[in-house]
Amino acid sequence: MVKAPDLSRIRSIGIAAHVDAGKTTLTERVLYFSGSLHKMGEVHDGAAHMDYLTEEQAHGITITAAATQIPWAGHVIQLIDTPGHVDFTIEVERSMRVLDGCVIVLDGVRGVEPQTETVWHQRSGFNLPALFFINKLDRPGADFTHALATIRDRLGAEPVAVTVPLATGIGAVHLIDKTVLTFTGEQDEEVQASACDEELWASMASYREGLLLAVAEADDRLAEQVLNSVEPEPEDVWNALRELTLAGKVYPCFGGSALRNQGIQPLLDGVIRLLPAPLDRAPSVAHRGDGTEELVEIGTPGPLVAIAFKVQMWDGRRHVFARIYRGSLKPGDAVVIPTADGQLIKEHVARIFAVDANRKSRLKEAFAGQVVLLAGLRQATTGDTLCSPDHPLVLERIEAREPVVSLAIESMSSEDEKKLLEALDKLQQEDPSLRLEEDAETGQRLLWGMGELHLQIAFERLAREFGLRVRTGQPRVVMRESISTPACDDFLFDRLLEQAGKSVAMKARVRVRVTPLERGAGNEVTVDPGVKPEGTALSVPQAEALASAPGDVLASGPLNSTPLQDLAIGIEEVELFGSGSTPQVLRMVTAQALHRALTKAGGVALFPIMATEVVVPAENLGAVLGDLQARHAIIRDTVNYSNTATIRCEVSLKRLLGYVTHLRSLTQGRGSFSMIFDRFDTVA
């Protein structure tokens, strides 16, 4: 029999950061130092172990989150490397959903960057305890203290230093153990700890004080020792710091340089000592079919509950990544997936694997707490709950984000047509933030994604994995519309209709009012009409018909047939004419009245506005600002730090199409930018 793993010895963590902070480089080091990997691969050589997709190697970025297992200090770290580019945030979101903690990597020169803020918010959504690794401290201009300050200022979180790198960039002081760590050996794999001399220790006073004041909060005995200037036991400090970290009160920070192999092992020790085991996490809420709830606690026995968090084609076959929350799973087991409309899909798990980046090894059984890869599931998709056939449950779903950019896409030849649709279906199964749609007016096929890079990668994969070349149109952005003035109108329907050989009078009248609301207000619908003739009342089906009519109308506005937002709809008056005012007639009449009122109210187009951050060498600031103004950007602020200027602004996504190439030419390739959807608004 296979034994279930000791849950207190598992850490399921993710590494998240702004693009280029060094996540993949750090992961390579972690694998190497733990003995899981025999050779370090470098991102810039296209040889990183975790970036195994050809597109990842060609672009030097991480696109899909890769999973791996690392043995460390008698524990197993289940690690998921996540991409930093905003176009692939769905990967971050669905990974965090199944993790117990995370390490956030910062560039030691830049500190917190825009995408750090995004992953931070995602982390906060799942209450994940986190550590920071301040990376790239070997770079000129790197500043550990400044990086910590950006955590406080931009994330509103309390950083507490644990290892402080030495000014030389080589070696670090450990503030809990009061030691100086050096990393020696051929590949810096040996950690040597020596006592910290008093002079160096004195220079650490402010960091040490920060740490002690923090732990004093958690433990009265420590507080007393700190007050009386008694050196607390390292073990007590670790325990108190762990408690604070699990509660999300402080965020321990480790300094180093992944590229130069500095500071990695103390970070791993920190992961084991400070981040939660599966047992330390709050139980998950699961919904039963009858509307009641059940708490699912990892480690308590019971029927299987697992969540599918990612679909991935592997050797051309469909595989599903899942995390088990309760029970166990064996090859051949039947599972059910409850659907949103109350159905149960039955499937069989054919094989189960443990995963190490692009290698997989078969498991005879998988247990609660583990992240595994499943083969044989044909229908399970991202966010589905897999459970025991006699105990169906639904865990909270993973929210997909709305894609914002689209390209018209056509196959080069008609023979490729079917193949293209199949390939696109596979890509969408893997990535719910890609969406294929037909334009109702032009009949064109549009592929929607989170950004231009996202779509570009999809096309590259079509070419490489499926041998498909496609023709694409100009990029287009997602749109919404609203109205400019209040308007009121009514509609009377009065017709004789043939029904089963008899002619029946169909008649009703409805009056509606539409009113524009503030940007971002959403839509409000009020159904409380005066009913004529006096003394009559609406039947339940009639009232339901009225309430359901605005939904259809709001989905496609009169201006551009795009969804309507920021308006109030009031159904003010209904006139009934006996049995001819059926629910169907009322629904149709309401929709017509709304169309008229909306047309009268005059449409306004709303465009996606992106919160954008552009980072450029200070000498290019003038040229870049001028160019942004030409793109009608609203500049929020500009910060100069260490020869780099950071511009925060709001720009319409339409005016940012192709910006990446333009920015490169303005800055000789040194500028970068990131953007994230903020709101829909009118633009200049």
Report the interface residues with ligand GDP, using CB under 6 A. Answer: 17, 19-25, 42-44, 61-62, 84, 135-136, 138-139, 257-260
Per-residue tokens: 606: 């709303």
Cβ proximity to Mg ion: between 89 and 581 the closer is: 89
Asked if residue 36 binds Mg ion (CB under 5 A), the reply is: no
Q: Residue 135 touches which of Mg ion, ligand GDP, none (CB < 5 to 8 A by kind)?
A: ligand GDP
CB of 26 to ligand GDP, least distance (A): 7
CB of 426 to Mg ion, least distance (A): 24
CB of 354 to ligand GDP, least distance (A): 23
CB of 105 to ligand GDP, least distance (A): 6
- Residue 486 exposed, middle or buried by CB count within 10 Å (0-12, 13-18, 19+): middle
- Residue 460 exposed, middle or buried by CB count within 10 Å (0-12, 13-18, 19+): middle
Considering only residues 255-274, where is the footprint of Mg ion by CB under 5 A? none
Cβ proximity to ligand GDP: between 258 and 546 the closer is: 258
Residue with tokens 């000498």: 619
Q: Among 636, 637, 634, 642, which Cα is nearest to 618's?
A: 642
Q: Residue 136 touches which of Mg ion, ligand GDP, none (CB < 5 to 8 A by kind)?
A: ligand GDP
Asked if residue 25 binds Mg ion (CB under 5 A), the reply is: no
- Residue 49 exposed, middle or buried by CB count within 10 Å (0-12, 13-18, 19+): buried
The CA distance from 423 to 465, in Å, is 9
CB of 677 to ligand GDP, least distance (A): 21
Per-residue tokens: 562: 């795009």
DSSP 502: E
Q: Residue 679 touches which of ligand GDP, Mg ion, none (CB < 5 to 8 A by kind)?
A: none
Single out the residue of 10, 15, 24, 656 in contact with Mg ion (rule: CB under 5 A): 24
Asked if residue 115 binds Mg ion (CB under 5 A), the reply is: no
CB of 46 to ligand GDP, least distance (A): 11
Cβ proximity to ligand GDP: between 28 and 489 the closer is: 28
Q: Residue 138 touches which of Mg ion, ligand GDP, none (CB < 5 to 8 A by kind)?
A: ligand GDP
Buried b (16+ CB within 10 A) or exposed e, 218-237: bbeebbebbeeeeebeeebb
# of chain residues touching Mg ion (CB under 5 A): 3
Cβ proximity to ligand GDP: between 3 and 44 the closer is: 44
Q: Residue 214 touches which of Mg ion, ligand GDP, none (CB < 5 to 8 A by kind)?
A: none
Q: Which amino acid would we find at residue 297?
A: E
User: 234-246 vs 220-227: helix axis angle to the nearest 10?
Assistant: 130
Asked if residue 62 binds Mg ion (CB under 5 A), the reply is: yes
Give every CB contact of residue 632 below 8 A, 6+ residues apart in sequence. Answer: 651, 652, 655, 683, 684
CB of 183 to ligand GDP, least distance (A): 13
Cβ proximity to ligand GDP: between 139 and 600 the closer is: 139
Asked if residue 82 binds Mg ion (CB under 5 A), the reply is: no
The CA distance from 238 to 215, in Å, is 9
CB of 286 to ligand GDP, least distance (A): 34
Give every CB contact of residue 388 below 8 A, 6+ residues apart in sequence. Answer: 303, 304, 305, 327, 335, 336
Q: How many C-beta neighbours within 10 Å does residue 351 have?
A: 14
Asked if residue 667 binds Mg ion (CB under 5 A), the reply is: no
Give every CB contact of residue 412 below 8 A, 6+ residues apart in sequence. Answer: 469, 470, 471
Binding site for Mg ion (CB under 5 A): 23-24, 62
